[in-house]
A and B are shown apart, each in its own frame.
Chain A
Amino acid sequence: MTVVKLRKTLRQIGRLLAVHSMLDLMLMTRSTAEFWIWAITDTIMNAAAVAGMVMLATRFHGIGGWSQPQIIFMLGFGAFSKGMVNLLFGYNVSAISRRIGRGQLDHTLIQPQPLWMAFLTEGFNPAFGLPTLVPGGALLVWSLAHMQFHSGPAWWLRFVGYMFCSIAMVIAFQWLWGSTAFYAPRAAEEINSATSELMEDLKTFPLSGRSPAVRDMLLTAVPAGFVAWAPCAALLGVPGGLHPMLAPAASAIFCGLALLAFHRGLAYYQISGSQRYSDFGHRR
């Protein structure tokens, strides 16, 4: 790719992110009542998602060899990763099975832009997404303040890298399963609701000291261990963690598998077409 082309691509990505930010802001501010209802319910849901583990961690002063602040850090990391997924891949970009299953991929295919660019930008929703970073951010700040832990620029760089891997792993897992909607649109339309919930439930489960069977399962079939546990163990230097490069490698492998599954599904879609169309959720 030439420098001119790269610059043009980056400029277009910037313009797309800006226009989607504006659409998101307009959607959020369409009604005062809806805004407040959404803000309150989302805060409750985000708080509920981490409350159980926080209470367990405080009650037992840590879990599985992890101290209380370390557990809170892992919860914060997981919640922040979820917030980032919400922020960057909303509007059923993360839950791709809905778009495929409802026959809505056609809308994207008639846009004159590569699919990667559409999916990278269409789900950007800062107005709705930014507040979902708050619970995770708050837990991270609290835990770092209670760990007597020196976090220099190199550590923060690693933090950003692991966060990127965590987000990539969540999206890859979603797309890997979401691609089944190419073959069974009706049955698999909501499969990403189930896979998202599965990942949410398991990602902050401390794997240190667990049996190899449980640990292996949560690092392969359902790679939830790579979303928060493995990156946090590496970042905090907790004994019993994995090799620091394993989480990035796993993310890369799962991203590759997800892309392969999506492309195969898309090739099938281009031969069979979609026999189904529902406008439910489309651009709403």
Chain B
Amino acid sequence: MTMQSTEMVLELTNVTMRFRQRQRGTDLGSILRGLVSPVFKTVTALDGLSLRVARGEVVAYAGANGAGKSTTIKLCTGLIRPETGTVSALGLDPSRDRVKYVGRIGVVFGQRSELWFDQPVSASFNWKRVVWDIPDDRYKAMEGLVRELLGLDSFYNTTARELSLGQRMRADLGLALLHEPELLFLDEPTLGLDALAKKQMLNIIKHLNEQNNITAIVTSHDMSELEQLAGRIVLMHQGRMAFDGDFDMLRREFSDWRYLVIDTPGAAPVLNMADYIASDGSRHSYRFNTAEITVAELLARASAQQQINDVETHRPDIDEVIAGIYEKWSVGSPADQHVATKQTETVHPSL
């Protein structure tokens, strides 16, 4: 968001990852045949993905379930290696230079905790100080900062297993930040958090990006949350990048729908080319498709029926846009044409 530079901290070039899924029947013959000659389906998790992220960027990495988000995070954190293509981050190969690389990144998996469960949060922080070999002065400064920013003081000496989910996530984020990572991977960091905890989490990530120029890759299914946080969204579909740009571009590209709210002294005007949604006193809401009719035309029709006191138009919220995109993709509409079709094939173990 701030102080972005042209220095690339993460580069994936033509990365392909395929996994085998065993195919099984339920009849006795298939079960027995499967023991001798199992049949597999190859699923392409990532299909020639190329992605570049500059220092200081916050990138929302989104996509429906199975789109390839987690595979990308695992590749970028060095947990797995690409089948073809290359991954380079901070000038290193995440898998081959693992020890050097992971000392410079932070990782938060929403569904996994790095905290020692039966120990107080403070003990996990001290453990991290030793394992990451953080110099004492830097540790003290960062410990103080994350405790203050994340509000950890009230439960710093409480056992991790006794924390609420929101507290645990804050503590996990604090733990991930202690060594001042240059690159932060957040995989569903707000999963299961309440509204307040989510807001706190988002504010902290924004603050760190603005103050420390941390680069962050965030995956989430909550698009409104991603929009608050990230300047750029990469939308994955069936292992391929379906969109890379900002949120406004995404709306423009994928959604022709707009909302129109008009304030009239009388009843809601009847507008044939727009869907009437609801009225709240003198304010009447409609939804219309810009491909079919313009705002000016609608207003002309409305003003022919009623005096118009006030007008508002707005785009649909991002969750609605994304849901629409996923829906189109799932039924294979024309929108599906410019993204990849998932390739599957049946192979036998000898392959």
With the chains together, A23 CA to B77 CA distance in Å?
A: 27
Cβ of B100 under 8 Å from chain A: yes
* Count of residues in A whose CB is under 8 Å from the partner chain: 29
- Within B118-146, the residues touching A (CB, 8 Å) are 118-120, 123, 126-127, 130-133
20 pairs of residues in contact across A and B, judged by CB atoms under 8 Å: A19-B130, A19-B131, A22-B123, A23-B116, A26-B119, A27-B118, A27-B119, A30-B118, A106-B112, A107-B114, A109-B98, A270-B79, A270-B80, A271-B80, A271-B83, A277-B112, A282-B117, A283-B116, A283-B117, A283-B118
Contacts A23-B123, A26-B123, A272-B19; A109 near B79 (Cβ below 8 A): yes
With the chains together, A225 CA to B78 CA distance in Å?
A: 40
Cβ of A283 and Cβ of B115 under 8 Å apart? yes
* Count of residues in B whose CB is under 8 Å from the partner chain: 36
- The 8 A-B pairs of least Cβ separation, nearest first, read A112-B103, A19-B130, A273-B80, A283-B116, A112-B102, A270-B81, A284-B117, A15-B130
> How far, in Å, is B181 (CB) from chain A's closest CB?
11
With the chains together, A19 CA to B103 CA distance in Å?
A: 19
Given A19-B130, A106-B74, 5 further pairs, Cβ under 8 A: A19-B127, A19-B131, A23-B123, A273-B80, A283-B118
Chain A residue with minimal CB distance to B161?
A284
Chain B residue with minimal CB distance to A104?
B112
Residues of B within 8 A of A19 (CB): 126-127, 130-131
Interface centre among B83, B112, B159 (most CB of A within 10 A): B112
Contacts A112-B100, A270-B81; A16 near B112 (Cβ below 8 A): no
Cβ of B167 under 8 Å from chain A: no
> A9-21 vs B: 1/0 string, CB under 8 Å?
0001001101100
Cβ of A110 under 8 Å from chain B: yes
Cβ of B131 and Cβ of A112 under 8 Å apart? yes
Residues of A within 8 A of B78 (CB): 109-110
- Within B156-207, the residues touching A (CB, 8 Å) are 159
Contacts A27-B119, A284-B118; A270 near B95 (Cβ below 8 A): yes
Cβ of A2 under 8 Å from chain B: no
Cβ of A114 and Cβ of B99 under 8 Å apart? yes
With the chains together, A114 CA to B133 CA distance in Å?
A: 13
Chain B residue with minimal CB distance to A271?
B81
Cβ of A111 under 8 Å from chain B: yes
> How far, in Å, is A251 (CB) from chain B's closest CB?
28
Contacts A12-B133, A23-B127, A271-B81; A112 near B99 (Cβ below 8 A): yes
Residues of A within 8 A of B77 (CB): 110
Cβ of A211 under 8 Å from chain B: no
With the chains together, A271 CA to B19 CA distance in Å?
A: 9
With the chains together, A19 CA to B119 CA distance in Å?
A: 12
Cβ of B71 under 8 Å from chain A: yes
Cβ of A273 and Cβ of B118 under 8 Å apart? no
Cβ of A16 and Cβ of B74 under 8 Å apart? no
Chain B residue with minimal CB distance to A31?
B118
Cβ of A113 under 8 Å from chain B: yes
Cβ of B107 under 8 Å from chain A: yes
> A104-129 vs B: 1/0 string, CB under 8 Å?
00110111111000000000000000
Residues of B within 8 A of A27 (CB): 118-119
**Option from A111, A113, A114, A273 in Cβ contact (under 8 Å) with B71:** A273
Chain B residue with minimal CB distance to A270?
B81
Residues of A within 8 A of B111 (CB): 277
Interface centre among A109, A112, A270 (most CB of B within 10 A): A112
> A234-276 vs B: 1/0 string, CB under 8 Å?
0000000000000000000000000000000000011111010
Chain B residue with minimal CB distance to A105?
B79
**Option from A26, A271, A279 in Cβ contact (under 8 Å) with B112:** A279
Residues of B within 8 A of A112 (CB): 99-103, 131-133
Residues of A within 8 A of B119 (CB): 23, 26-27, 283
Residues of A within 8 A of B107 (CB): 110
> How far, in Å, is A12 (CB) from chain B's closest CB?
7
Residues of B within 8 A of A12 (CB): 133
With the chains together, A15 CA to B19 CA distance in Å?
A: 40
> How far, in Å, is B147 (CB) from chain A's closest CB?
20
Residues of B within 8 A of A283 (CB): 115-119
With the chains together, A107 CA to B112 CA distance in Å?
A: 9
Interface centre among A18, A110, A273, A277 (most CB of B within 10 A): A110
Cβ of B289 under 8 Å from chain A: no
Cβ of A273 and Cβ of B131 under 8 Å apart? no
With the chains together, A162 CA to B92 CA distance in Å?
A: 43
With the chains together, A273 CA to B20 CA distance in Å?
A: 11
> How far, in Å, is A283 (CB) from chain B's closest CB?
5
Chain A residue with minimal CB distance to B98?
A109
Cβ of B14 under 8 Å from chain A: no
Residues of B within 8 A of A279 (CB): 112-113
Residues of B within 8 A of A109 (CB): 78-79, 98, 102
With the chains together, A87 CA to B183 CA distance in Å?
A: 37
Residues of B within 8 A of A30 (CB): 118, 159
Chain A residue with minimal CB distance to B160?
A283
> How far, in Å, is A125 (CB) from chain B's closest CB?
13
> How far, in Å, is A107 (CB) from chain B's closest CB?
7
Chain A residue with minimal CB distance to B176?
A110
Chain B residue with minimal CB distance to A103?
B112
Chain A residue with minimal CB distance to B19?
A272
With the chains together, A106 CA to B94 CA distance in Å?
A: 13
Residues of A within 8 A of B71 (CB): 273
With the chains together, A12 CA to B103 CA distance in Å?
A: 15
